[in-house]
């Protein structure tokens, strides 16, 4: 890697989809989901690992919310972030980065 390459920006690309559905007539219950597809380095900045630089990240988020009053709500969401299996973790040497998962319950209070 050349010294100048470390500080040079590199090409990235990604896209997202989002959707929500109201489950009742009063619009108190909301079900929504989001999908992100992101490639932080489309060219492979490190020439030595260029053929293994398929470092695509895919994020899935599913949520169920109950609106208490105006913009105050309780939200239960599940998030899963997966990495390409061909991405080599340079720090640990693992051939595959582990999938990250999270389950979260949030009380949003707006005033």
User: 105 vs 57, 58, 71, CA distance in Å?
Assistant: 24, 22, 16
Mean pLDDT, all residues of the chain: 83
**pLDDT surpassing 80 at residue 11:** no
Which strand (E) or helix (H) includes residue 3?
Answer: helix 3-6
pLDDT mean over 66-71: 92
Provide the pLDDT confidence category of residue 47 given band limits of 50, 70 and 90.
very low
Q: Which residue has the higher pLDDT, 78 or 92?
A: 78
């Amino acid at each position: 890697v050349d010294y100048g390459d470390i500080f040079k920006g590199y090409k990235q690309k990604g896209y997202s989809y989002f959707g929500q559905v109201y489950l009742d007539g009063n619009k108190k219950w909301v079900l929504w989901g989001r999908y992100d597809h992101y490639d932080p380095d489309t060219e492979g900045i490190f020439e030595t690992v260029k053929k293994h630089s398929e470092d695509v990240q895919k994020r899935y988020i599913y949520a169920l919310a109950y609106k208490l009053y105006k913009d105050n709500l309780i939200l239960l969401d599940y998030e899963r972030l997966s990495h390409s299996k061909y991405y080599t973790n340079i720090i640990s040497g693992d051939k595959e980065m582990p999938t990250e998962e999270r389950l979260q319950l949030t009380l949003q209070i707006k005033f």
